[in-house]
């Protein structure tokens, strides 16, 4: 048996776990990360790519923003496109801020590089972690190390950064947990292609055949999505069928401008809204996808994780350095207050921009009226802008 000690045991080396470790290290607080998958598997994940300016500032504060500023694409706004009508949301005009197009994959790569440069202890390919005594005075994580030896990691705090399918949320007794969920009757089929983007900003389209999104990773690499049926698997779609659906849904003005090609990656993601309350149980604190999921329509998943982590790191720092338990006590309530507002925005945009099989004629008119109102109202457009650029932390 190997016995180890740390201040914070972090479960998961996704964006939440890696960023938390970096922020804690910058405050002189040690941590150990346990990750189920290999480093290459974590680095190979293709995820979203729009950073709120608050996320960019957090990366800057963490000292891992150099490549983001060098290679990222600052955007002033995006387009909504509804049955042939276009409406630009001028984020910079309404908020004085931009968003940064920079892939989560790249952000994860930057964080791993920095954590390794600082010799952070990360147990990769460790699928058997178990949380023990999380509501006691001696929380610990047990797992098997690469040499096959059992390890007990004693910690003062356990951070559950292990995503929606992790173990941390499961460590909260069912009778203490309140779960809220909305599963949407569709998914997103995404394609990554080495072709220049259709437009210099993002375009979210609602067409009678379904939703489509034109995004990008750089000026030479594009990311596109089309709404697909819930039961669809990637093999149900040929790349030609994808391009045809995308071009149709972007309409006669934009569709023909799409530069098609063979995909670097093609995958389907289901859409759900989910929140688990509370985000704390004893010495266990949840951050990121372990506590909540948003549909990708508002580009909020990564940004919400960053907001949790920034708040949790600050609370742990106050607790560790000033003995202030209050900050830890307030974490769950304060984090959830922002989580629910972001869940609302992601649900709102998803409801406006997708074709719902079960929608009545009345609900279809409500969708049209919502877009028509947004298109005609500075106040409604400003509301979308301030949510998209990111609510205050």
Return the residue matching tokens 């259709």: 198
34 lines the binding site for ligand APR (CB under 6 A):
yes
Angle at 66 between CA 77 and CA 97, to 5 degrees: 25
388 has catalytic annotation:
yes
Measured from the CB atom, the residue of 327 and 384 that comes closer to ligand PHB is 384
Give the pair of three-digit tokens for residue 232.
């669809």
Q: Taking contact as CB under 6 A, which single stretch among the options 8-16, 123-131, 149-157, 290-298 is the one that binds ligand PHB?
A: 290-298
Q: Taking contact as CB under 6 A, which single stretch among the options 48-56, 129-137, 320-328, 378-386 is the one that binds ligand PHB?
A: 48-56
Q: Which of 8, 9, 10, 11 binds ligand APR (CB under 6 A)?
A: 11
Q: According to DSSP H, which parts of 167-324 are helical?
A: 239-254, 301-322
Burial, 244: exposed, middle or buried (Cβ in 10 Å; 0-12, 13-18, 19+)? middle
Q: Which of 14, 15, 17, 49 binds ligand PHB (CB under 6 A)?
A: 49
Q: Give, for 389, the enclosing helix (H) or strand (E).
A: helix 378-389
Distance CA 184, CA 228 (A): 11
Q: Which of 21, 22, 23, 35 binds ligand APR (CB under 6 A)?
A: 35
The interface mask with ligand PHB, positions 132-161, x = CB under 6 A, is: ------------------------------
Q: Which of 49, 163, 187, 197 binds ligand APR (CB under 6 A)?
A: 163
Contact residues for 208 (Cβ-Cβ < 8 A; gap 6+): 83, 355
Coil, helix or strand at residue 177: coil
Distance CA 146, CA 122 (A): 12
140 has catalytic annotation:
no
Burial, 176: exposed, middle or buried (Cβ in 10 Å; 0-12, 13-18, 19+)? exposed
CB of 353 to ligand PHB, least distance (A): 10
Measured from the CB atom, the residue of 218 and 303 that comes closer to ligand APR is 303
The residue ranges that bind ligand APR (CB under 6 A) are: 11-17, 34-37, 42, 47-48, 104, 129, 161-163, 166-167, 288-289, 301-302, 305
Catalytic residues: 75, 204, 296, 300, 388
């Amino acid at each position: 048996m190997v016995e180890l000690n740390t201040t914070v045991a972090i479960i998961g080396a996704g964006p939440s776990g890696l960023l938390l470790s970096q922020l804690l290290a910058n405050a002189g607080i040690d941590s150990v990360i346990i990750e189920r998958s290999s480093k290459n598997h974590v680095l190979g994940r293709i995820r979203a790519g729009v950073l709120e300016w608050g996320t960019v500032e957090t990366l800057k504060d963490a000292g891992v923003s150099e490549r983001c500023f060098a290679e990222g694409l600052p955007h002033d706004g995006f387009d909504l496109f509804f049955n042939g009508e276009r409406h630009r949301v001028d984020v910079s005009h309404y908020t004085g801020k931009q968003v940064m197009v920079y892939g989560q994959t790249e952000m994860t790569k930057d964080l791993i590089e920095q954590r390794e440069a600082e010799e952070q202890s990360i147990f990769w390919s460790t699928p058997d972690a178990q949380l023990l005594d999380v509501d006691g005075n001696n929380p610990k994580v047990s797992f098997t190390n690469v040499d096959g030896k059992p390890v007990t990691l004693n910690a003062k705090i356990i951070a559950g950064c292990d995503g929606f399918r992790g173990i941390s949320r499961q460590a909260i007794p069912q009778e203490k947990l309140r779960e809220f969920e909305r599963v949407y009757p569709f998914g997103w089929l995404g394609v990554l292609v080495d072709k220049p983007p259709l437009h210099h900003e993002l375009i979210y389209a609602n067409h009678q055949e379904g939703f489509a999104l034109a995004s990008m990773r750089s000026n030479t690499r594009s990311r596109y999505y089309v709404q697909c049926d819930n039961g669809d698997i990637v093999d149900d779609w040929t790349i030609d069928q994808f391009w045809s659906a995308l071009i149709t849904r972007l309409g006669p003005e934009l569709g023909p401008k799409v530069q098609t090609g063979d995909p670097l990656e093609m995958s389907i993601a289901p859409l759900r809204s989910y929140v688990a309350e509370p985000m704390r149980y004893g010495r266990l604190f949840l951050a990121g996808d372990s506590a909540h999921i948003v549909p990708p329509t508002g580009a909020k998943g990564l940004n919400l994780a960053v907001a949790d982590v920034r708040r949790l790191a600050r609370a742990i720092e106050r607790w560790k350095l000033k003995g202030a338990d209050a900050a830890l006590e307030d974490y769950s309530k304060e984090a959830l207050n922002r989580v629910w507002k972001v869940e609302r925005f992601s649900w709102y945009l998803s409801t406006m921009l997708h074709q719902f099989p079960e929608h009545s004629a009345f609900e279809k008119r409500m969708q049209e009226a919502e877009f028509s109102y947004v298109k005609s109202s500075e106040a409604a457009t400003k509301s979308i802008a301030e949510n998209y650029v990111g609510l205050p932390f």
